Amino acid sequence: MFKAVLFDLDGTLLKMDTDVFLEEYLRLLAQEIASYQEPAVFVQHLLDAIRAMINNLDSAKTNQEVFMEEFFARSGLEAEVMMPVFDSFYRGSFRQLQRISEFDPVVPQVIEQTLARGCRAVIATNPVFPKIAVMERLSWAGISQYPYDLITSYENMHFCKPRLEYYREVSEMIGIQPAECLMVGNDVEEDLVAKEIGMKTFLVDTFLINRREMPIVTDYRGSLTDYLELISRIPKRWSIIS
């Protein structure tokens, strides 16, 4: 049925309102940077650099490289000074954002049952954050300890959602054809686009995002409990855990 399952994180495995999360994230980070640059100016440079990552199609550059080039060129700040500040933020103040999320006991079951059925599990979050920020959010969901084949972050990816290149890169990195993958996510535009390269899709509609009111075309739809029912149908033919 599937050899790999790709999971979106925010709003899918991690219960949260992503708009509230982004607003609070920008506020906290701007506070951290306030002694280096006026917060509103900093936020604009940050968002412009994130847009550059999302729009990038240069496979020779990681998302991190694109971000650093764009952000430091726009802001005039020095990477040698600011990168330790960013790192300190993700190890400290970023953790305050856990209050925006809600732990769901079904989520660890989702990962455990996926692995138990012999499927490879991938955390396919939009790679605009460093890995330290992704791992922190996985810990909020209670699933940071599992043996994922891949966790996408801005260090190891060259493209972002909703680019088809992102999904092709994930497929290549795990060595599994798109037709043998299932993408599980809550964003109609960013996650269901995986269907265009042959992946099956499961729309988690608990925190559904459809900002452009696009037609919803998906193979499966429902809650994570519904996903558990689906995955239970997979025979244990590709077991990778004992």
Whole-angstrom CA distances from 28 to 95, 203, 218 are: 10, 31, 36
Number of neighbouring beta carbons within 10 Å of residue 45:
19
d(CA 9, CA 138): 8
d(CA 216, CA 213): 9
d(CA 213, CA 215): 7
Q: What is the per-residue pLDDT for 1?
A: 79
Number of neighbouring beta carbons within 10 Å of residue 130:
19
Q: Which residue carries 């810990």 as its tokens?
A: 139
Q: Give 10-residue mean pLDDT values along the chain (242 residues).
A: 96 96 98 97 98 97 98 98 97 98 98 95 99 99 98 99 99 98 98 99 97 96 97 67 38
Tokens representing 223?
A: 């809650």
d(CA 219, CA 182): 9
d(CA 33, CA 31): 5
Q: What is the per-residue pLDDT for 168?
A: 99
User: In the chain, where does DSSP find H-type helix?
Assistant: 18-33, 39-55, 63-75, 79-91, 106-116, 131-140, 164-174, 224-231
Length reported for the chain? 242
d(CA 166, CA 217): 19
Q: What is the per-residue pLDDT for 236?
A: 65
Number of neighbouring beta carbons within 10 Å of residue 163:
17
This prediction has a pTM of: 0.95
Upper half-sphere CA count for residue 139 (Cβ side, 13 Å)? 12
